[in-house]
Chain A
Amino acid sequence: MKNIFVLAEHRKQNLRDVTWEAVAAGRALAKELGADLACILLASSVGGMAEKLAQECPKVIAVEDPRFDTFNSEAIMKTLAAILKDQGPYMLLMGNSNSIMEIAPGLSVVLDAALATDCIGLEVREGKPMAVRQMYSYKVNTLVSFKDADRVVATLRGGAFPFAPSGAAVGTVENLTSPLGDERLRKRFLNYLEAEKGDVDIASADIIVSVGRGIGDEPDMDVFQSLADAMGGVLACSRPIVDKSLLPKYHQVGTSGIEVKPKVYLALGISGAFQHVGGIKGAPLIIAVNKDARAPIFRVAQYGVVADLNEIVPALQEKIEALKG
């Protein structure tokens, strides 16, 4: 691989955290492969963002077009295809965000590149890049190679590649003209929508009791609400609970739900898929109760219990009430 490219992602004219994590991964990989690192910024106005990237990246390729403003996947894909089509062997890194999930698969086909999504690690073995990803309900780690592909696209799981500013690079910014003609895009942005707000604000709660698929198909939600009440906390949940209409959407913790930053997070019957764990910020104390000893939640929890919730929850509530006197 001669070149490592990183696609910068932004929203509302701000670079997103996943961008810096991709820069961190790109730096490490470029060093190991002896490749050049460049960041690609596609935005309606590149100025401030290009400058910030140049502080951390030796080269920034910047393209302005109003159609990049909301990160329209069609506009981004066409432009990347135009920029990268004549490049030699390369690897393109991007965050595995909800926007990139829409771009990476189609882009890899257009670029005739191999694609690994949601990578938690990148390695080089005998000069070849490989990726670590998770499969089977995120319970199994998998090392994948790219056969003999000389173009590779990898999307990176949020939080898996920590970034620390180096401030050492004073990169150059190369401005390119947008390759998009005046054709009408087949996909057009209309507006942003905020999720419905409810009577509970889990984002500001210090104590959260959160329930997931493991509570069963016809659970008695009062049992969990009552435990949350006893702890002086709020009740939250993972995605399957909302999908089954057991709780409204504004209770859902996760990257597609609400980001929370409690002091204590009690996870009941939650497997711990990254979409859920990604919504828990600020390193709280996590206690997990799950029947499955291999549930990924036990990898992020400080304390775990492998047990049946139906027995533990009422017993726990009793003990808590006794402690409160």
Chain B
Amino acid sequence: MEIIVCVKWTPDTSEADLAIGSGGKDIKRDSLDYDMNEWDRFAIEEAVQIKEKVGGKVTVVSVAPEDAEEMLRESLARGADEAFQLWDDSMEGADGFATAQVLAGFIKNRPHDLVLTGTLADDDCGGQVGGMLAAMLGVPSATLVSKLEADGSTMKINRELEGGLYEALEMDLPAVLSVATGLNEPRFVSIRAVRKVASVEIPVVGLDDLGLEESQVGSAGSKLQIENVSLPPEGEGAEIVKGSTEEVAARLAEILKEKGGIG
């Protein structure tokens, strides 16, 4: 089975101190650490597990600048057979649509039975690329996939609905599936595995090879435009309890007792 996995290079903002950049249209990115989007690591693992079971090839691809090479190398160490970086400086500032357009340009000319990606990315929290890519490729899609099982030319999947409910679906291939976190346990990558792929070439694919124009990618090709970004004030809403550990613990215990939090 030919599997293509789309991954994203994202700043880790979950515990970082964020500040707004001078233009007021984005956060300051210089001091942030970048890494593969957490959801996408599950997509790679799933692809590699399917390959190990039924055979085939796993290709990892990302619309990402030079710095992201380490992410693609990690993908190879995780068991992907090849990796491609799609980049041109004009791709900067892309929304979900412009990103999907670039991925579609790459994927449509390559064999693909299954395209996997994470459902969401932590930076734009958009959850758009998988479904858009499927529509551009003219294939069916599903999101929040929590289990998948290849069965010849079809795939059996479970996807998450709300309140602990799931739906089981059967899908024709090719398809684009956006996975949920937790559908597998991404493997530990040993130093040996990383060394093994240290010299593998990771081609950079530009606009011409993708058959795209500058106006179709990056902020120019985006349908959304960011007007401004802002940080809500710290602790807005909550009364912040301050003091020594001892004092804070005592105050919390009192609040809990008073409000029925000690049963």
Contacts and interface: CB of A to CB of B under 8 A. Distances in A.
A58 interface: no
Interface residues on A, range: 35 or more
B231 A139 contact: yes
Interface stretch (A47-55, A85-93, A173-181, A263-271): A263-271
B211 interface: no
Given A109-B135, A115-B97, A294-B18, A98 B236 contact: no
Given A143-B227, A319-B250, A117 B13 contact: no
A116 B224 CA distance: 8
A256 B135 contact: no
B191 interface: no
Contact of B18 (A109, A136, A194, A304): A136
Nearest to A311: B245
Contacts of A258: 163-164
Interface in B199-257: 222-232, 234-241, 245-246, 248-250, 252-257
B132 to A, nearest CB: 5
Contacts of A117: 96, 125-128
Where chain A touches its partner, the secondary structure class is: mixed
Contacts of A194: 164-166
Interface stretch (B53-61, B81-89, B107-115, B180-188): B180-188
B260 A206 contact: yes
A206 B162 contact: no
Q: For this complex, into which size category does the number of interface residues on chain B fall?
A: 35 or more
Interface stretch (B1-9, B72-80, B168-176): B168-176
25 contacts: A102-B142, A105-B96, A105-B131, A109-B132, A110-B135, A146-B224, A147-B223, A147-B224, A147-B225, A190-B168, A191-B168, A195-B164, A207-B260, A230-B262, A231-B261, A255-B163, A258-B164, A264-B261, A266-B256, A287-B261, A316-B253, A319-B250, A320-B256, A323-B253, A324-B262
Interface of A: 11, 70, 73-74, 97-99, 101-110, 113-118, 130, 133-147, 149, 186-195, 206-207, 213-214, 230-233, 239-240, 242-243, 245, 250, 255-259, 263-264, 266, 271, 285, 287-288, 291-294, 298-307, 311-312, 315-316, 318-320, 322-324
Given A191-B168, A316-B253, A320-B253, A106 B15 contact: no
B contact patch SS: mixed
Given A194-B164, A242-B182, 4 more contacts: A186-B140, A189-B169, A206-B263, A258-B164
B182 A135 contact: no
A11 B163 CA distance: 12
